[in-house]
């Protein structure tokens, strides 16, 4: 009897930006499907153009046994940052994405959000079946095609959400706190509305109140 080992890859998109959600994706494959992903040219989403990511995302969904996507909105991210446990939140969402797959993998490879991959692995293992072999690595999206596939799905979902926001709110910029266009958008919004929109991560900045208004300092507490 041939035993088919199932492998899952998990990655996220949107940890660093000040605007929009964090998106986590998991992909489940067997060895044959893993090879098909490789033949399609699946790799780290950062090395693929937006149009090609969309194409690959559709092909990935047709090839893999199962996939799942978890979207984490700014309000939940803010709560985690204020409690200084953003990495724990990500570990929980990685586990949620794994648990949402159609069947449990024998092995899971994740792109570590923590500077300490072993600590991130151990945190994820708290929330998944004890029989799963969990491996956390830096640059796993570059080194494992199944993690690259997950990174593409996560990036496509996040890009669609950001594009939707840009259509509704012109001048949004890239969403990164270092982007002058994004900084200007937040400052102008504050002048008009006197509060932050729901798609802004308020924990990514300090807010200084002045007698004639509020001045925003987009100091980033997360990482890319």
3-state secondary structure the chain: CCCCCCEEEEEEECCCCCECCEEEEEEEECHHHHHHHHHHCCCCHHHCCHHHHHHHHHHHHHHCCEEEEEEECHHHHHHHHHCCCHHHHHHHHHHHHHHCCCCCCCEEEEECCCCCHHHHHHHHHCCCCCCCEEEEECCHHHHCHHHHHHHHHHHHHHHHHHHHHHHHCCCCCCCCCCCHHHHHHHHHHHHHHCCCCCCECHHHCEEEEECCEEEEECCCCCCC
Q: Is the pTM of this model over 0.75?
A: yes
Query: How confident is the model over 24-46, as a mean pLDDT?
Result: 94
Is residue 162 domain-shared with residue 181, that is, in the same domain?
no
pLDDT digits (tens, 9 = 90+) for 113-136: 999 999 999 999 999 999 999 999
Is residue 12 domain-shared with residue 120, that is, in the same domain?
yes
Give the CATH number of the domain where residue 211 resides: 1.10.10.460
Determine the pLDDT at residue 4. 60
Confidence of residue 204 (pLDDT cuts 50, 70, 90): confident
Confidence of residue 176 (pLDDT cuts 50, 70, 90): confident
**Mean pLDDT in the chain?**
89
Determine the pLDDT at residue 178. 83
Is residue 154 domain-shared with residue 198, that is, in the same domain?
no
Query: How confident is the model over 92-101, as a mean pLDDT?
Result: 98
Give the CATH number of the domain where residue 29 resides: 3.30.420.10
- Quote the domain boundaries for residue 142: 7-166
Higher-pLDDT residue of 220, 64:
64
Residue 181 lies in a domain: yes
Query: How confident is the model over 89-101, as a mean pLDDT?
Result: 98
Is residue 206 domain-shared with residue 114, that is, in the same domain?
no
Q: Is the pLDDT of residue 1 over 60?
A: no
User: Among 46-55, 93-102, 163-172, 198-207, whose mean pLDDT is lowest?
Assistant: 198-207
Residue 149 lies in a domain: yes
């Amino acid at each position: 009897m041939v035993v088919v080992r199932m492998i899952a890859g998990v990655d996220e998109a949107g940890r660093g930006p000040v605007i929009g959600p964090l998106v986590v994706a998991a992909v489940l494959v067997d060895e044959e499907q893993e090879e098909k992903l490789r033949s399609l040219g699946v790799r780290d989403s950062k090395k693929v153009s937006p149009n090609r990511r969309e194409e690959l995302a559709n092909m990935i969904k047709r090839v893999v046994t199962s996939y799942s996507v978890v979207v984490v909105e700014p309000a939940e991210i803010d709560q985690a940052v204020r409690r200084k446990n953003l990495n724990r939140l990500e570990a929980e969402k990685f586990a949620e994405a794994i648990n949402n797959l159609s069947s449990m993998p024998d092995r899971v490879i994740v792109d570590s959000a923590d500077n300490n991959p072993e600590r991130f692995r151990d945190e994820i293992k708290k929330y998944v079946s004890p029989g799963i072999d969990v491996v956390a690595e830096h640059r796993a999206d570059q080194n494992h095609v199944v993690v690259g596939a997950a990174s593409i799905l996560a990036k496509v979902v996040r890009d669609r959400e950001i594009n939707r926001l840009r259509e509704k709110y012109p001048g949004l910029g890239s969403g990164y706190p270092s982007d002058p266009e994004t900084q200007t958008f937040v400052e102008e919004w504050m002048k008009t509305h006197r509060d932050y929109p729901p798609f802004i991560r308020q924990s990514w900045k300090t807010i200084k109140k002045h007698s004639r208004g509020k001045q925003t300092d987009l100091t980033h507490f997360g990482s890319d």
